[in-house]
Amino acid sequence: MKFIDAGRTLWRGTTNFWYADGSRYGAATAFYAIFSLAPILVIAVSIVALMLEADPAREGVVGQFAKVVGAQGAEAVDALLARPENDTERGILAAVIAAITLIIGATGVFSELRDALNRMIDARPRKENVVLAFVRVRVVAFSLVLALGFLALSSLLVSSALEAMSERLAPAFGAWLILFKFASITISLGAVTLVCAAIYRWLPDERLPWRALLSGAAVSAILFSLGKWGIGVYLGGSSTTSAYGAAGSFVVLIIWVYFTAQAFLLGASIASAFAGRTPAPGDIVVVEPTSSPEPSR
C-alpha cells in the first residue's frame, strides 16, 4: 500500500511540474547557469587547490566532468577554466576584483533558481526590504557555491581513494571490485541527494520538511545518474559534436546543463508533493472560511 501511495505522490509531483511550467523555468535556469558555470568552476577549483596544487586540482575537476558529459563536454569546461580572466596567479588588486566578479557571477543563477523553486513548491515570496532580500539571496547562494566546492573536493578525494584501492587490490581481490564500484556510486548519489535537499531547504522563501526534501532530492539524484548514462549513450552514437564543429563541446555542455535543470526542478516538485503542498490536477480543494457569515435577515 505504501508503494502505491508513493507512486501516486510521484505522479502528482510530476504532473504539477508540467502544470507549473517547470520545463520553461528549467530552461530559464539553464540559461543563467551557462553564464554562471565558469565562476562556479573557478571557485570549486580554488577550494580543491587548498589541498592540491592548482594544475592537479583543475585536472581533477575536469576529470569529474569527463565522467558526466564525456570528453567533449570536459573540453568545454577546461576551455572555460583556461581563460585569462580565470587565472588565480595575479596581483592582489586584480585578485580582489576577480573574486568580487566571481561571487556575483556564481550567485547569479541562484536568484533565478529561487524564483523557479518558489514556483515548484508554491511558496509565497517573503515580504522584506529589497536590499535585505538581495543580500540574503546572495549570502545563501554563495554559501551553496562554497558547499558545491567542498563537495567537489570530497568527491575528488573519495573517487581517487576508491580508484587507488581498486587498482591495488585488483590482483588479489578481483571479485571485490564490484563492491568498490557500488560504494562509489552510493557515495555519489548520497552526496548529490544531500546537496539538492540543502538547496531545496534554504533557497526558497518557504521551507519544507526534510523528509519530503530528501525524497525529492533522491529522485533528482537518480535522474542525474540516468542522464549521465543517457548522454554518454547519445554521444556515442550521435554526430552532434561533428555537426557543430569547434562549438560541439559547448553544445554537449549546454545539453547537460539543460537536462540537469529540468531534473532538479522536477525533484523540487516531487518534494512538494511528498510534503502535501501540491494538490493533484482535478482535486477539489476545500478552503474553510475564517469566520462564519452572518445570517441574513
Query: Over the stretch 256-265, which tens digit does the pLDDT of each residue have?
Result: 788 888 999 9
Q: What are the boundaries of each domain within the chain?
A: 2-274
- Report the b/e string of 32-52 with b at 16+ CB within 10 A: bbbebbbbbbbbbbbbbbeeb
Question: At residue 220, does pLDDT exceed 80?
Answer: yes
Choice between 17 and 195, residue whose per-residue pLDDT is larger = 17
Task: Please write down the long-range contacts of 22-25, taking CB distance under 8 Å and 24 or more positions apart.
Answer: 22/116, 22/119, 22/120, 22/262, 22/265, 22/266, 22/269, 23/262, 25/115, 25/116, 25/119, 25/120, 25/265
Question: At residue 177, does pLDDT exceed 80?
Answer: no
Determine the Cα angle at 232 with ends 231 and 238, to 5°.
80
Q: Which three cell numbers mark 257?
A: 546543463
Answer whether 147's CB lies under 8 Å from 198's CB. yes
* Mean pLDDT rounded to a whole number for the chain: 71
Confidence (pLDDT) at 212: 92
Tell me how far apart the alpha carbons of residues 39 and 57 are, in angstroms, rounded to a whole number: 15
Tell me how far apart the alpha carbons of residues 9 and 75 are, in angstroms, rounded to a whole number: 40
pTM of the model: 0.72
Highest mean pLDDT among 7-16, 66-75, 83-92, 233-242: 7-16
Choice between 42 and 205, residue whose per-residue pLDDT is larger = 205
What is the identity of the amino acid at 231?
Answer: I
3-state secondary structure of 216: helix
97: left (phi over 0), alpha (psi -120 to 50) or beta: alpha
Question: At residue 139, does pLDDT exceed 60?
Answer: yes
Q: Which three cell numbers mark 49?
A: 587547490
Tell me how far apart the alpha carbons of residues 253 and 77 are, in angstroms, rounded to a whole number: 8
Task: Please write down the long-range contacts of 177-183, taking CB distance under 8 Å and 24 or more positions apart.
Answer: none
Q: What is the CA radius of gyration of the chain?
A: 22
Confidence (pLDDT) at 233: 67
1 by Cβ neighbours in 10 Å (0-12 / 13-18 / 19+) ranks as: exposed
Answer whether 82's CB lies under 8 Å from 94's CB. no
Which of 69-83, 85-99, 167-181, 199-213 bottoms out in mean pLDDT, i.e. has the lowest? 85-99
Confidence (pLDDT) at 217: 93
Question: At residue 276, does pLDDT exceed 70?
Answer: yes
Query: How large is the average pLDDT for residues 46-73?
Result: 62
